[in-house]
A and B are shown apart, each in its own frame.
Chain A
Amino acid sequence: MAKTVVTTQSDRYATGIFLYSAVPLIKVICESEPQFGDKFKGKSFVFQVSAKDSEAEGTGKLATHFVINDGVWTTFPGVVHEKPDVELAFPSLRKFVVFFSGKGMPLPKIKGLFKFGLLIPLLGPLLRMAKLMQSKDKPTLLSDQIMLCKLFLYLLPSGISRLNKMGHPDVKAVTETSPDRAYALIIENYPDLQSWIRVKGGKSMSGRGEYKRCKPFLAMKFKDPSLALDILMSKADMVKYIELGNLFVDGAPEFAGTVGALMFKVAYYAQGQYLDVEK
């Protein structure tokens, strides 16, 4: 008799982060690295990643899909497409999380398996993302460091915002009492390597690039991609790096710990740490 895995609330938080924050990074890789993006020129199709969920209304699954139109990607996070051309369909939220967190390889059912012209180009950015984000060590090539920083910087504020929108109590505790404030992550001298989250009275939104609405309440400014990865991959102590000048906290340093705790919360789900803790 097959073992039934009950979907936990943590599975749902992790799924939310992957569908809304991590899977959309495939588009980022294709747009940033022509060796992947160029392979979609002249191609128009729908690609979807989904996971079955008995509680999902209608289709019985949760998904994010992309519409690729002559190589131009549009992301529809959290939206199920009924007839995607290519789909990675996981049988459960847990297996979806295990696969994307790198905790295991429960292979999905692949719709469009024989559409080689579409499927094979998709494997490139998927493997690129997996290799970078699941690596325990910092990449040595600067180009890889830049790409990994971009993925982390885009993932973290988005992940925090997703947890907030899903009502995660630890995140809500921060956002609900907050006035209109923005927190930014910045790698100096790399205009693309910036992201932010804005919170106000329980609401949140995340974005990429410079926060232009006002001066961020707090900005964590890293000196370069390599030093940023030391912190983002938990290889160095944040306080020590502030002392050394590798990280400059601009605005309200007493809130740096709050932001750090929220980032760790995203990592807790995105790296599947909860799967070990909540056995």
Chain B
Amino acid sequence: MAGGITFTAVESTKLAPAEIFGKTIAELGSSDPTIVCLSPDLATSTKMGDFLAKYPDRFFNVGIAEQNMIGIAAGMAKAGLKPFASCFSVFASLRALDQLHTDVCYQNVNVKIIATHGGTSFGQAGSTHHAIEDIGVVRTMVNLTVICPADGMETANAVRAAASTPGPFYIRINRGFDNVVYNSSDYGFEVGKAVEMVDGTDITLIACGSCVYQAMQAASILKFDHKLSARVLNMHTIKPIDREAVLKAVRETRKLVTIEDHTIVGGLGSAVAEVIVEGGKACLLRKLGIPDKWSPIGLHEDLLAHHEIDAEGIVKNVLEVMKQDIEKDEDWGDEV
């Protein structure tokens, strides 16, 4: 039994990302009759109720059968529709992986997957419901755009971008409420372009999903308590990743920390590392996330703290990284 609420319930005056997805897709449905929605009997959990109420003939409950849902969505896309299929991230990326691989990505069809309950946001449901490998898995899929929005407003932007861009999308959002990063959707969201939330020169924090808020809090603590200047990048698009922003961060700060609610293997940190090694400039990179272990079971906020991907954990790690040297035998002579 899942139960419980997440810590972000303090933001209950705002809508949860999944709810904003539901509102957004219902709104898009009015102007685009090709949009259809599919759910494996999770319409309530994935907040598709508004769409179902407005367009009952364009909503398909396929039953508890995620694999079928993805296969059906691929067929609908081949027939000219624009299916939005929503289910828990752990099932969209793992159980339905073959359908995602062969039916959607190989065919390069216009299927949009809204993967809810990402990372450890459904922490109390146990390890079977923790989606901590999904980004690592799905970013290997050819043709697939992978987005992990920071909050509700960014979820709305990601859904709109997916609706207006041909090809398959995987949008990973959390269960429950996220801390609010954006009060408006008007901040220049662009697929594949990171958003610089805070400028800084000592170190760059690259985060995605709910960790963006944590990184911004950490930057504030670092500034006021430790006199450190931390840049924060919201790397909402994991694939295609914003290479330019990563390389600029390497050039300008030389020290980077990635923060993600995901295993440190294969996710955002790995994607950033791939860019760095091709860039040819030495730097320090620390990947924060869930280590190569099963996460404990618990509320999201407790798990973020446990894995040091909350603000305090990020600060602790940044202070350690700041003490590390990049080049060991530096020449400290003055130029004459």
Contact = CB atoms under 8 A, between A and B. Distances in A.
Interface string B291-332: 000000000000000000000000000000010001000111
Contacts of B336: 20, 24, 27, 75, 77, 158
A204 interface: yes
Interface residues of B, number: 17
Range class of the A interface residue count = 20 to 34
Interface stretch (A32-40, A83-91, A214-222, A232-240): A214-222
Contact of B332 (A205, A213, A252): A205
A94 interface: no
B322 A158 contact: no
Contact of B201 (A158, A205, A251): A251
A206 B334 contact: yes
Contacts of A179: 202, 228, 322
Contacts of B326: 180
A206 B335 CA distance: 6
A217 B335 contact: no
Interface of A: 20-21, 24, 27, 75, 77, 158, 161-162, 179-181, 203-208, 213-217, 251-252
- Most chain-B CB neighbours within 10 Å: which of A75, A77, A161, A215? A215
13 contacts: A21-B334, A24-B336, A27-B336, A161-B334, A180-B202, A181-B201, A203-B332, A205-B335, A213-B254, A214-B251, A214-B252, A215-B201, A217-B229
Interface of B: 201-202, 228-229, 251-254, 322, 326, 330-336
B269 to A, nearest CB: 20
A64 to B, nearest CB: 9
Contacts, number: 53
A214 B253 contact: yes
Residue among B202, B253, B254 with the highest chain A CB neighbour number at 10 A: B202
Nearest to B228: A179
Given A179-B322, A251-B229, A217 B334 contact: no
B202 A181 contact: yes
A67 B322 CA distance: 41
Q: Do most interface residues of chain A lie in helix, strand or loop, or is the interface mixed?
A: mixed
Contacts of A158: 334-336
B103 to A, nearest CB: 46
A222 B322 CA distance: 30
A205 B331 contact: yes
Nearest to B231: A215
A214 B333 contact: no
Of residues B202, B251, B332, B335, which shows the largest number of chain A Cβ atoms within 10 Å of its Cβ?
A: B335
A63 to B, nearest CB: 14
A179 B322 CA distance: 7
Closest 10 CB pairs of A and B: A215-B252, A24-B336, A207-B335, A75-B336, A206-B334, A214-B254, A205-B332, A217-B201, A179-B322, A203-B332
Given A214-B251, A214-B253, A214-B254, A205 B228 contact: no
Contact of B251 (A21, A204, A215, A252): A215
Contacts of B322: 179-180
A217 B227 CA distance: 12
Nearest to A252: B229
A207 B335 CA distance: 5
A179 B319 CA distance: 10
B334 A162 contact: yes
B308 to A, nearest CB: 20
B291 to A, nearest CB: 26
Contacts of B251: 214-215
Nearest to B250: A214
Nearest to A201: B323
B153 to A, nearest CB: 29
A154 to B, nearest CB: 8
Contacts of B332: 203-205
Given A27-B336, A207-B335, A217 B254 contact: no
Given A77-B334, A180-B326, A207-B335, 15 more contacts: A75-B336, A77-B336, A180-B202, A181-B202, A204-B332, A205-B330, A208-B335, A213-B254, A214-B251, A215-B252, A217-B229, A251-B201, A251-B229, A252-B201, A252-B229
Contacts of A215: 201, 251-253
A21 B333 CA distance: 12
A88 B17 CA distance: 76
A166 to B, nearest CB: 12
Contacts of A162: 334
B252 to A, nearest CB: 3
